Amino acid sequence: MTQPRRQLPIGIQTFAKIREGEYYYVDKTPAAWRLAQTSGYYFLSRPRRFGKSLFLDTLKELFEGNEPLFRGLDIHPRWDWSTRHAVIHISFGAGVLQTRAELDRRILDILRVNQERLGLTCPDSQDVAGCFAELIRLAHAHTGRRVAVLIDEYDKPILDNIADSDTALVMREGLKNLYSVIKDADAHLRFVFLTGVSKFSKVSLFSGLNNLEDITLTPAYSALCGYTDADVDTVFAPELDGLDRDEIRRWYNGYNWTGESVYNPFNLLLLFRNRRFQPWWFETGTPAFLVKLLARNGFFTPDLARLRTGLEILSTFDVDRIAPEALLFQTGYLTIHKAEEPLLGHWVYTLGYPNHEVASSLNAALLSEYTDDPSRSFAHRLRLLDLLQANDLAGLKALFQSFFAGIPSDWYRNNPIARYEGYYASVFYSYFAALGLEIRLEDATNWGRIDMTVLFNGHIYLFEFKVVELAPKGLALQQIKDRGYADKYRTEGGLIHLIGVEFSRETRTVVGFEVETLT
Q: Residue 423 domain-assigned?
A: yes
**% of the chain with per-residue pLDDT over 70:** 93
Q: How confident is the model at residue 274 (pLDDT cuts 50, 70, 90)?
A: very high
Question: In terms of domains, do 37 and 168 share one?
Answer: yes
Question: In terms of domains, do 72 and 32 share one?
Answer: yes
The residue out of 303, 318, 352 marking a domain boundary is: 352
Residue 415 belongs to a domain with what CATH number?
3.40.1350
N- to C-terminal Cα distance for the chain?
A: 54
Question: In terms of domains, do 156 and 190 share one?
Answer: yes
Q: d(Cα 61, Cα 57) in Å, to the nearest integer?
A: 6
DSSP state of 75: T
Q: Residue 261 domain-assigned?
A: no
Q: How confident is the model at residue 419 (pLDDT cuts 50, 70, 90)?
A: low
HSE of 148, CA atoms in CB hemisphere, 13 A: 24
Q: Residue 460 domain-assigned?
A: yes
Pick the closest to residue 304 from 331, 281, 335 (CA basis).
335
Q: d(Cα 8, Cα 12) in Å, to the nearest integer?
A: 9
pLDDT at 139 over 90: yes
pLDDT digits (tens, 9 = 90+) for 175-224: 999 999 998 899 999 999 999 988 876 556 676 677 789 999 999 999 99
Tally of CB atoms within 10 A around 472: 10
pLDDT at 229: 97
Q: Residue 359 domain-assigned?
A: no
Question: In terms of domains, do 107 and 168 share one?
Answer: yes
The residue out of 199, 221, 243 marking a domain boundary is: 221
Lowest mean pLDDT among 76-85, 209-218, 267-276, 320-329: 320-329
Q: Residue 326 domain-assigned?
A: yes
At position 289, the amino acid (one-letter code) is F
Question: In terms of domains, do 48 and 194 share one?
Answer: yes
Q: d(Cα 149, Cα 56) in Å, to the nearest integer?
A: 10
* C-alpha distances in Å from residue 389, one per residue of 277, 385, 386, 393: 21, 6, 5, 11
3-state SS of 260-272? CCEECHHHHHHHH
The residue out of 221, 236, 265 marking a domain boundary is: 221
Question: In terms of domains, do 187 and 312 share one?
Answer: no
What is the CA angle 417-332-353, rounded to 5? 70
Its pTM surpasses 0.75 = yes
pLDDT digits (tens, 9 = 90+) for 384-399: 999 999 999 999 989 9
Choice between 39 and 272, residue whose per-residue pLDDT is larger:
272
| Mean of the per-residue pLDDT values of the chain | 88
pLDDT at 102: 96
Question: In terms of domains, do 325 and 400 share one?
Answer: no
Q: d(Cα 329, Cα 335) in Å, to the nearest integer?
A: 6
Question: In terms of domains, do 53 and 183 share one?
Answer: yes
Q: How confident is the model at residue 400 (pLDDT cuts 50, 70, 90)?
A: confident
* 3-state DSSP assignment of residue 484: coil
| Mean pLDDT computed over 353-378 | 86
**% of the chain with per-residue pLDDT over 90:** 57
Question: In terms of domains, do 464 and 340 share one?
Answer: no
| Mean pLDDT computed over 356-381 | 85
Go through the chain and tell me how many residues it has: 519
pLDDT digits (tens, 9 = 90+) for 22-76: 999 999 999 999 999 988 899 999 998 999 999 999 999 999 999 999 999 999 9
Domains held by the chain: number? 3
3-state SS of 51-104? CHHHHHHHHHHHHCCCHHHHCCCCCCCCCCCCCCCCEEEEECCCCCCCCHHHHH
Q: d(Cα 69, Cα 183) in Å, to the nearest integer?
A: 32
Q: Residue 204 domain-assigned?
A: yes
pLDDT digits (tens, 9 = 90+) for 233-259: 999 999 999 999 999 999 999 999 999
Number of H helices, E strands in the chain: 21, 13
Question: In terms of domains, do 315 and 381 share one?
Answer: no
- List strands edge to edge, sheet with 459-467: 438-445, 448-456, 459-467, 496-504, 509-518
pLDDT at 448 over 60: no
Question: In terms of domains, do 344 and 376 share one?
Answer: no
HSE of 462, CA atoms in CB hemisphere, 13 A: 27
Query: What is the H or E stretch that residue 167 is in?
Result: helix 165-184
User: Is residue 445 a contact partner of residue 486, using CB atoms and an 8 Å limit?
Assistant: no
Residue 157 belongs to a domain with what CATH number?
3.40.50.300
Task: Identify the domain containing residue 205 by its residue range.
Answer: 27-221
409: left (phi over 0), alpha (psi -120 to 50) or beta: alpha
pLDDT at 447: 47
pLDDT at 155 over 60: yes
User: Is residue 365 a contact partner of residue 431, using CB atoms and an 8 Å limit?
Assistant: no
Q: How confident is the model at residue 445 (pLDDT cuts 50, 70, 90)?
A: very low
Q: Residue 16 domain-assigned?
A: no
Q: Residue 175 domain-assigned?
A: yes
User: Is residue 286 a contact partner of residue 300, using CB atoms and an 8 Å limit?
Assistant: no
Which residues 6+ apart lie within 8 Å of 223 measured at CB? 259, 260, 261, 262
User: Is residue 12 a contact partner of residue 18, using CB atoms and an 8 Å limit?
Assistant: yes
Question: In terms of domains, do 75 and 173 share one?
Answer: yes
Range among 283-287, 301-305, 511-515 with highest mean pLDDT value: 511-515
Long-range contacts of 76-83 (CB under 8 A, 24+ apart): 76/29, 78/33, 79/33, 83/145
DSSP state of 150: E
